[in-house]
Amino acid sequence: MNQTIQPRLVAENAAKMDMEKIAADEKTFRWLLDEDAMAAKNWPKASGGC
Protein backbone atom coordinates (compact mmCIF):
# COMPACT_ATOMS: atom_id res chain seq x y z
CA MET A 1 0.00 0.00 0.00
CA ASN A 2 2.07 2.92 -1.30
CA GLN A 3 0.22 6.20 -1.08
CA THR A 4 1.59 9.60 -1.91
CA ILE A 5 1.22 12.16 0.85
CA GLN A 6 0.10 15.52 -0.45
CA PRO A 7 1.42 18.56 1.43
CA ARG A 8 -1.27 20.72 3.03
CA LEU A 9 0.85 23.56 4.39
CA VAL A 10 3.05 25.15 1.74
CA ALA A 11 4.95 28.36 2.49
CA GLU A 12 4.63 29.65 -1.08
CA ASN A 13 0.84 29.27 -0.98
CA ALA A 14 0.63 30.97 2.40
CA ALA A 15 2.67 33.92 1.14
CA LYS A 16 0.12 34.44 -1.67
CA MET A 17 -2.89 34.55 0.67
CA ASP A 18 -4.61 37.85 1.29
CA MET A 19 -4.62 37.82 5.10
CA GLU A 20 -4.25 40.53 7.70
CA LYS A 21 -0.85 40.43 9.35
CA ILE A 22 -0.81 40.69 13.13
CA ALA A 23 1.93 41.68 15.54
CA ALA A 24 3.85 38.64 16.77
CA ASP A 25 4.97 39.98 20.12
CA GLU A 26 4.31 37.95 23.28
CA LYS A 27 1.73 40.34 24.71
CA THR A 28 -0.45 40.13 21.58
CA PHE A 29 0.00 36.36 21.33
CA ARG A 30 -1.15 35.84 24.93
CA TRP A 31 -4.15 38.16 24.47
CA LEU A 32 -5.25 36.35 21.29
CA LEU A 33 -4.75 32.98 22.99
CA ASP A 34 -6.92 34.05 25.94
CA GLU A 35 -9.63 35.22 23.52
CA ASP A 36 -9.86 31.75 21.95
CA ALA A 37 -11.22 29.33 24.58
CA MET A 38 -10.30 26.18 22.65
CA ALA A 39 -6.77 27.41 21.99
CA ALA A 40 -6.28 28.39 25.63
CA LYS A 41 -7.53 24.97 26.76
CA ASN A 42 -5.27 23.05 24.35
CA TRP A 43 -2.15 25.23 24.54
CA PRO A 44 -0.54 23.29 27.44
CA LYS A 45 -0.83 20.03 25.46
CA ALA A 46 0.54 21.60 22.28
CA SER A 47 3.47 23.26 24.03
CA GLY A 48 4.57 20.10 25.83
CA GLY A 49 3.05 20.92 29.21
CA CYS A 50 0.59 18.69 31.02
Q: Where are the domains of the chain?
A: 23-50
State residue 12's pLDDT score. 92
Q: Tell me the pLDDT band of 10, cut-offs 50, 70 and 90.
A: very high
**24-37 mean pLDDT:** 83
Q: Cα(34)–Cα(36) distance, rounded to whole angstroms?
A: 5
User: What DSSP string runs through 1-50?
Assistant: ---PPPPS--HHHHHHS-------SHHHHHHHHHH-HHHHHHHHHHTT--
Q: What's this model's pTM, rounded to 2 decimal places?
A: 0.39
Which band of pLDDT confidence, cut at 50, 70 and 90, is reported for residue 49? low
CB 33 within 8 A of CB 40: yes
More confident residue, 1 or 47: 1
Model confidence at 47: pLDDT above 70: no
